[in-house]
Amino acid sequence: MRRVLIANRGEIAARVARACFDEGLETVLACSEADRETLAARLADRVVVIGPPSPLESYLSVERVVAAALTTDCDALHPGYGFLSERPELAAACEENGITFIGPPADVMRGSGDKLKAREMAADLGIPTGGGTRGLADAEEAVALAEELDLYPCLIKASAGGGGRGMTIVRSADDLRASFARSSQEAERAFGDGTVYLERYVERARHVEVQVLADTHGNVVHLGERDCSTQRRYQKLIEEAPAVGLPDAVRDGMRDSAVRLARALGYVSAGTVEFLVDTDRNEFVFLELNARVQVEHPVTEMVTGVDVVREQIRVARGEPLSVAQPGITVSGHAIECRINAESPRRDFLPSPGRVERWTAPQGHGVRVDTFVENGATISPYYDSMVAKLIVHAPDRAAAIDLMLRALARTEVRGIETTIPFHAAVLGTERFRESPVTTRWVENEFLPAWLEGGE
């Protein structure tokens, strides 16, 4: 491996470029016309424009991405996260053209990316799945199965993807009939597949995920777990590692289940196995396996000292993992805030525009992953993330205090951001005293915060 095409944009493109530099690799950034002057473009050794700003004509085009790799003589490709990162078509096209895909092989991605198949495999391994249905395309069939299995309340979920697309809570047959077509259509638009399924809904749940790494030599390890329960409309806002306050049996069970599932799938590269923890019963159920590096991987890196992206590169080169399970320890506590160009007080309305001034905090235990500089433009064509602010401290209380100081010293002018929201969440006694559940932000925090107007 000598030259890597980075088929992504924003902070993850800059993050991959730095990892490639550390591994002694040249980089080519494949970007849209909107991103040709970004920090990621300057960090890469070369830039190739693959299309106009529209993602469908640039970042989501397998043909254009692969052509960019071939014309620039790249022998490897890193997809980052989002866009084509979990599309087996890209991995297959790379394999067909002699390009090393820095991620799982296409056949493994097909097995892990289909939520229904992954759930079936988890059930076969004895991993709790919480019950649910097969893939459905008919509302009346869904109603009949929900009643037969006594699933209410339940979730309608897209089979082909995540991120909350097509996901709806339903509490009755009438709700299910009213929501089924809308959820299926949203899944079709987002993933090109309108198949949905039903899954039992847990009222008071924590969203906990386990980071796994696997190589081509049969080695599979976990890097502990992350708590991603601070979310709104199924979109993660704040992530932490480790997930505190879990019974040992639940923590160990999720870690063991993640490794066993990855091994059974023949998984290769970095992946994330997601679980839902029922806080009333202290039980966990398997949700899905994400076959890519996650947005929140830095909190895992901070508490373990393992560079997840560099491990991806080493595995793709055919090398064994640089770490073994007995040598992996979790030290201290890390928190990540996703700083987005949004207006929290206006229902998180996107706030694209020019960043007139950007000042990032510095100090021991503070990390900033971003593509933003003074004068950078937050484009309306893509997601609104400005930066990821990550801190690491000896314990959770110290990490919260450090994050509050870091947020206070982060200056962004020219656009609105979610910084005030993050500071308000971290400043509540409820957040500080114990981990929250997935509906806390929407049901409890936001109504009180918006009414208070502070």
In single-letter form, the type of residue at position 413 comes to R
SS (H, E, C) 255-306: HHHHHHHHHHHCCCEEEEEEEEEECCCCEEEEEEEECCCCCCHHHHHHHHCC
| Domain identity same for 39 and 161 | no
| Domain identity same for 53 and 191 | no
Radius of gyration of the chain from its Cα atoms, rounded to whole angstroms: 21
CATH value at residue 255: 3.30.470.20
Q: Does 225 reside within a domain?
A: yes
CATH value at residue 164: 3.30.1490.20
Q: Tell which residue, 390, 381, 375, 309, has the closest CA to residue 27.
A: 309
pLDDT at 163: 66
For the chain, the helix, strand and coil percentages under 3-state DSSP, each to the nearest 5: 35, 25, 35
In single-letter form, the type of residue at position 384 comes to S
Domain boundary among 161, 180, 200: 200
| Domain identity same for 186 and 230 | no
pLDDT of 245 strictly over 90: yes
Number of independent structural domains in the chain: 3
Backbone angles phi, psi at 229, to 5 degrees: -80, -20
pLDDT of 365 strictly over 80: yes
Return d(Cα 126, Cα 107) in angstroms, integer.
Answer: 23
Q: Which residue has the higher pLDDT, 128 or 137?
A: 128
Which string of DSSP letters, residue by residue, matches 77-126?
A: EE--SSTTTT-HHHHHHHHHTT-EESS--HHHHHHHH-HHHHHHHHHHTT
Strands 235-241 and 333-340: antiparallel
Return d(Cα 139, Cα 444) in angstroms, integer.
Answer: 32
CATH value at residue 44: 3.40.50.20
Check 226, 251, 255, 292 and give the catalytic one. Answer: 292
Domain boundary among 167, 200, 233: 200
Helix (H, G, I), strand (E, B) or coil at 384: coil
pLDDT (mean) for 77-89: 95
Return d(Cα 143, Cα 176) in angstroms, integer.
Answer: 7
pLDDT at 167: 87
Q: Does 274 reside within a domain?
A: yes
pLDDT at 111: 85
pLDDT of 454 strictly over 70: no
| Domain identity same for 287 and 384 | yes
Q: Does 112 reside within a domain?
A: no
| Domain identity same for 194 and 212 | no
Return d(Cα 27, Cα 41) in angstroms, integer.
Answer: 10
Residue 43 makes CB contacts below 8 A (sequence gap 6+) with 14, 17, 18, 21, 27, 29
| Domain identity same for 290 and 346 | yes
In single-letter form, the type of residue at position 403 comes to M
| Domain identity same for 321 and 288 | yes
pLDDT of 3 strictly over 70: yes
Q: Does 307 reside within a domain?
A: yes
pLDDT of 359 strictly over 70: yes
| Domain identity same for 264 and 152 | no
Average pLDDT, the chain: 94
Q: Does 81 reside within a domain?
A: yes
Which string of DSSP letters, residue by residue, matches 55-73?
A: GGGTTT-HHHHHHHHHHTT
What are the E-state strand segments in 317-414?
333-340, 342-343, 349-350, 353-354, 357-359, 366-370, 377-378, 385-393, 411-413
Domain boundary among 200, 228, 252: 200
| Domain identity same for 210 and 190 | no
Confidence of residue 99 (pLDDT cuts 50, 70, 90): very high
Q: Does 111 reside within a domain?
A: no
pLDDT at 7: 98
pLDDT at 2: 97
Pull the structure tokens for residue 210: 């386990």
pLDDT tens column, 189-224: 877 788 899 988 888 999 999 999 999 999 999 999
Would you say 304 and 222 are in contact if contact means Cβ atoms under 8 Å apart?
A: no
pLDDT at 453: 58
pLDDT at 385: 94
Confidence of residue 350 (pLDDT cuts 50, 70, 90): very high
pLDDT of 318 strictly over 60: yes
pTM over 0.85: yes
In single-letter form, the type of residue at position 297 comes to H
Residue 379 makes CB contacts below 8 A (sequence gap 6+) with 34, 35, 53, 352
| Domain identity same for 183 and 211 | no
| Domain identity same for 141 and 262 | no
pLDDT at 432: 95
Strands 154-158 and 349-350: unpaired
Q: How large a percentage of the chain has pLDDT more than 70?
A: 99
| Domain identity same for 403 and 446 | yes
Give the range of the structural domain holding residue 143, as residue numbers without chain letter.
Answer: 130-200
pLDDT at 130: 82
pLDDT at 210: 98
**CA 382, 358, 240, 235: dihedral to nearest 10 degrees?**
-30
Pull the structure tokens for residue 301: 């890196």
Return d(Cα 344, Cα 11) in angstroms, integer.
Answer: 22
Confidence of residue 234 (pLDDT cuts 50, 70, 90): confident
Q: Does 54 reside within a domain?
A: yes
Would you say 44 and 36 are in contact if contact means Cβ atoms under 8 Å apart?
A: no
Confidence of residue 113 (pLDDT cuts 50, 70, 90): confident
pLDDT tens column, 323-346: 999 999 999 999 999 999 999 999
Active site residue 346: no
pLDDT of 256 strictly over 90: yes
Q: Does 109 reside within a domain?
A: no
Least confident span in 46-60, 153-167, 228-242, 362-376 = 153-167
pLDDT (mean) for 258-274: 97
